Amino acid sequence: MMSPMRNALRLENVGRRYGLRGSWVLRDIDLTLAPGELVRVEGTNGTGKSTLLRLLARIDAPTIGHITGRPRTAYVPERFPSALPFTPSGYLTHLGTVHGLTRTAAARAADEWLDRFGAAAHARTPMTRLSKGSSQKVAVAQALLAEPELLVLDEAWTGLDTGARAELERAVAERTAAGGAVVFVDHDPRRLAGVPDATYRVHDGTLERRTEQATTPTGPHVVVEAQGPPGGQLPSVTVMSAEETAPGTYRLSVPASHSDVLLRELLTARPPWHVRGVTRTDAPADHPPAQEDPR
């Protein structure tokens, strides 16, 4: 299940309009999504962000242009309906099998993800009786449970409580670390700040790559002090800064969403790293200028 995308998803000269005489929602879109890439899409309301995401998820076909590549895709819609005649557990088991899991694996993954998002208590409540927030947790779990190669999130954080929002950021970090691509739209500019490999802006139906990278990402950070084995490689996780404090000992700073991924990678490396300390800081001001870890 952890296989990286068989092939990257590519949009070439893609345009989309609705109806035969409708105006163009998007045109001349060129975009490549490589395995493991995290992409943020911005734009004011009604500019075609959702249309772009539906094209990427291959739910919509382009009116002109080509899309190539078929990664296993999961999609979280902007507004998830609660009018489904299932319990969250039942619905997620169905969706898990639709995504290709066996029934047992799907049922297990369903419980696991509901638990991770703090909705285990509602696993057997009819979905029509769920609150908007719990319903959104089901929407997010639906997309994550089959470990997709491409995850498309259309305002997936909206409606989630604080704990679930952080959990979703961690899930995104896990997905990209496992070689999956993630594309997201979110109205909060601090969402996964500094982490995306690329940020695009939808404007007047076209896509512009934003070059002014947020070089000073705000938001909570986790600083990990770790001692590598002789000749050990620095992990490939997006590290904000890496500073060698003593020979073989590093001070690694990552966005809080990526701390688990970093620690997992350090501890499961062969030979493993030794973690000397983990601290959480809210302002990463005392760090040297951010540098993206080359992949």
Partner 1 sequence: MTALLRYQAALLVRSQRWLPPFILYAVFLGVGVQGGQPVLDSLGYTAAALLPVAAWLVRVCVTGEPAAAGHCVAAATGPGRAHLGRLLVALGASAVLGAVATVIVTCLSDPSSSDHQTRVPPLPAGAAGLLAVLACALLGTAVGALTSWPLLRSTGRAVPALLLAALLALVVSGSPARAAVSGLVTGSRSGTVEPPLLPLAGAALLAAAAIATACALTSRR
Consecutive H or E run containing 266: helix 259-268
Q: Does 75 bind partner 1 (CB under 8 A)?
A: yes
Q: Does 74 bind partner 1 (CB under 8 A)?
A: yes
Consecutive H or E run containing 207: strand 206-210
Q: Does 97 bind partner 1 (CB under 8 A)?
A: yes
Token duo for residue 93: 């088991």
CB of residue 170 vs partner 1: minimum separation in angstroms? 21
Q: Which phi and psi (to 5°) does residue 284 adopt?
A: -85, 40
The stretch near partner 1 (CB under 8 A) out of 96-104, 163-171, 190-198, 223-231 is 96-104
Identified binder of partner 1 from the candidate list 95, 119, 185, 266, rule CB under 8 A: 95
End-to-end Cα separation, the chain, in angstroms: 22
| Interactions with partner 1, residue window 223-282 (CB under 8 A) | none
Q: How far is Cα 231 from Cα 242, in angstroms, rounded to an integer? A: 16
Which of 274, 280, 156, 284 shows the shortest CA–CA distance to 216? 284
CB of residue 154 vs partner 1: minimum separation in angstroms? 9
The stretch near partner 1 (CB under 8 A) out of 7-15, 112-120, 138-146, 215-223 is 138-146
CB of residue 99 vs partner 1: minimum separation in angstroms? 5
Alpha helices in 57-128 (DSSP H): 88-98, 103-116
Q: Does 85 bind partner 1 (CB under 8 A)?
A: yes
Task: Tell me the torsion sign for CA atoms 180, 100, 153, 41.
Answer: positive
Token duo for residue 285: 């001001």
Q: Does 81 bind partner 1 (CB under 8 A)?
A: yes
Residue numbers at the binding site for partner 1 (CB under 8 A): 18, 54, 57-61, 72-81, 83-86, 90, 94-95, 97-100, 139, 142-143, 146, 152
